[in-house]
Chain A
Amino acid sequence: MKFVDVMMKGLKGTFRDRKGLAFMLLFPVMFMFIFRVSFGWGMPENSTYDIAVLDQDTGEGPWDTASPAWLPAFNTAMGTNMTAPGFFAEFVLNGTADAGDQYVTQVLAKARYDDGKTVLFKIRNVTTYDEGQEMVRKGDASAVLIIPANFTSAVQGAVDSAIVKELRAHSIAVPDPLEGYANATVDIAGVSGSMDYAFANGMLQGYTGAYVQMMATYTRHAVAGAMGLGPAPVEGSEIGVAWVSMGDTGDFTAFDWIGPGIMVFGLMMTAQWVTGSLSTEVKDRTINRLRLTKMTALDLMLGETLRWMVMGVIVTVLLFVVAIGVGLHYAGDPAVNVPLAIINGLLIVLASIALGLILAAFVNNPDQATGLATLIIVPMTFFTGVFFDLNLAATRYFPWTQGATAMRQMLIFDNMDEALTAMALCFVGAMVLFAIGVLAFHFKRLRSG
């Protein structure tokens, strides 16, 4: 177990260098405080964002001409004779014209910060995209939200699937959902360099995804309840606080939107520690001592990785505690979401270790390590959308982008489907990067010069 010896050597070094350890732990914590101050303490917080909304939803969908297969069973159980449009109007639209209208008037317009008074968005309806663009150009709106014509169709599809799932979970045989539902895309346009747009964009993306899921979840539970089927025995991941936090009793602050990103930023710093640590081994030539022993390259890589994973656990937990301590709210069940957030943190640490290995392959001493790591990591934190989701195609599949998405989805929206998908992508990205890092370090540093 030579990798354990390598790991223990590193950990002893880390913990005995008290000043180094303090700086290592204080740096991300400091950032958390700085952002907390910036988004709440002593400064104006909870800004309301003007959103130009272009609602193109036609309100049309497959239910206008066909009924979902479960509707007869529902009518029988309820003793009613509802049509599909009737069901949609009563169980989903709740007095609104269509899904787009509902999303704008019942969700976005009512979303509030935790003071219960300040609304997140001020809705400014527009009739053309140019009109919305003009508002953004003049600074009258932070973003243009474009709800597509087939939005209602997509929501009907989500509801149909959810109800089929629900009934089948109660062992009621129902045919598959109807076909012909649309895949709708809500566009959020704005000035990409604008801070307001970055914030508004992040919030709107979250709300849009959560709205569709929320409607599906709400409806399936409403149907199950109406049919006397009791609580759903499965699919717990779709049940969450999304409904509560999206509704008019929301409890989120501006800081909550950025908190998960700061945690990711703190964990990305692992790359700098790894680069510094390995470049010190190179400079002090202790790496040569190691190479001459029976330790293999894999032992070294594994030992170093485990060492920094241990530090990653400590930093993740510390950041979580500090974030909550300074007022971060998070959604969902703490028994599920918090451990998952920590696991997600470790995946981000793994990706950062891999980046550290790659950088360490190209530097000869700790000074170079600091320079190169700063040069790479700081821009990377922005490009991967750690602070604000920039939605850049070039960095979409970077593990940190996915890690940040997962962190937001689980902590802000309690959207576990999205979170788990992003975590899986983060893991794959981290492993690819890790393989590159191991090869780079092996060929540049462990083979003969």
Chain B
Amino acid sequence: MSDFIIETQHLKMIYPGGKEAVKDLSIGVKKGEVFGFLGPNGAGKSTSLNMMVGLLRPTKGRTIIGGEEVKPWSPVVKEKLGICPQETVLWEDLTCYENLMLLSNLYEVPKETGQARAEKLLEDLLLTEKRDELAKRLSGGMKRRLNLAMSIVHEPEILLLDEPSPGLDPQTRRVLWDYIAGLPKKGHTLILTTHDMDEADYLSDRVAIIDNGELLVLDSPHRLKASVGEGDVLELAFEEGADLEHAAADFSRKPDIISAKVSGGRVVIRCKNAMSRLPELFDFVRSHDSEIIDVRYRGNTLEDVFISLTGRALREAGSE
């Protein structure tokens, strides 16, 4: 018996026209974990998710849920899965409450239970005041929250979240993240796709980094970040006209500087105790008749992991 609640075996998707969207994806998701798919737009995350729920027929391979292969109209999908799609998918001419009750009824949730769940979801996702508002009159952030509520009203064992928070204001995003983060405690297993490294890092127990339809690496965020290297990261912006490549080369020759590269128009330096070394770095730059105009300090991120694997930033990859 597999340890995984959901497992894909050699999933492959070639679209008409020959584009290979997913190449031989084999992963397993454990019960109660939050499993993140991180990758740029067009990496094949949503395609993978749609194959996992039976909305897309894979060119090859299969998905197993609870020992049963997923097929179109599979009872196992209807019993165990909920999916929060990337787009806000709701009925614009129904109210928030009606949208929730429609899905509750179609999932055969007993009426009173469904009503109680709908009210609770509206409360938890700060939509109670909009209970009887038509969905078309909600703001984008509210629609996103309703979108999530509609995916979970039948309390699925496995919830698939396809890019749950792009374009949201920080406050709405935090509401959504906090709610999602609390779901595993209620017994849900989560599969999350995102191109937002912070989202993947904050929410996921394990992250699969995917690019061009290919699984590059799979591990916990902590271990993935550690795998990139020790030390902190300083991102230095120089005045216009500065020779960044030259500066990076100069930095890399200094003692205790682990690495220095140019990325995203900045010189990215990895070193230990970075904050305490800032005055020294400023002096070094000035001695070369140059000027630092902005400094960002951070620890390793999943973006660094992606860069180390592909040589590109997530943003750059997504816009290709």
Contacts and interface: CB of A to CB of B under 8 A. Distances in A.
A9 B100 CA distance: 12
A294 B81 CA distance: 11
B91 A13 contact: yes
Contact of B98 (A12, A291, A296, A447): A12
Contacts of B55: 288, 291-292, 448-449
Contacts, number: 72
B150 interface: yes
A288 B134 contact: no
B151 to A, nearest CB: 9
Interface stretch (B32-40, B103-111, B194-202, B253-261): B103-111
A425 to B, nearest CB: 35
A138 interface: no
Nearest to B58: A448
A5 B89 contact: no
A44 B99 CA distance: 55
B105 A285 contact: no
Given A13-B91, A286-B91, A288-B55, A5 B105 contact: yes
A285 B83 CA distance: 12
Interface residues of B, number: 30
Given A16-B134, A292-B83, A448 B107 contact: no
B56 interface: yes
A73 interface: no
Interface in A1-60: 2, 5-6, 9, 12-13, 16-17
Interface string B85-100: 1010111111000100
B89 A294 contact: no
Nearest to B147: A289
B102 interface: yes
A2 B105 contact: yes
Interface in A247-295: 284-286, 288-295
A9 B98 CA distance: 9
B56 A448 contact: yes
Nearest to A20: B93
Main DSSP-derived SS at the B contact region: loop
Nearest to B79: A294
A187 B107 CA distance: 61
Contacts of B102: 5, 9
A9 B54 CA distance: 25
Interface residues of A, number: 26
Given A285-B87, A292-B53, A294-B78, A448 B105 contact: no
B299 interface: no
Nearest to A293: B106
Given A5-B106, A448-B72, A292 B78 contact: yes
A9 B77 contact: no
A322 B157 CA distance: 55
A6 B105 CA distance: 10
A295 B106 contact: yes
B107 A13 contact: no
A411 to B, nearest CB: 36
Given A12-B94, A13-B93, A285-B89, A294 B106 contact: yes
A295 B53 CA distance: 15
Contacts of A448: 54-57, 72
A426 to B, nearest CB: 32
Contacts of B72: 291, 446-448
Given A291-B55, A291-B72, 16 more contacts: A5-B102, A5-B106, A9-B102, A12-B93, A12-B94, A16-B93, A284-B92, A285-B87, A285-B89, A286-B89, A286-B90, A294-B106, A294-B107, A299-B106, A448-B57, A448-B72
7 contacts: A5-B105, A13-B94, A289-B85, A292-B82, A294-B106, A294-B108, A449-B57
Interface of B: 53-57, 72-73, 77-78, 81-83, 85, 87, 89-94, 98, 102-103, 105-108, 134, 150, 154
Interface of A: 2, 5-6, 9, 12-13, 16-17, 284-286, 288-297, 299, 446-449
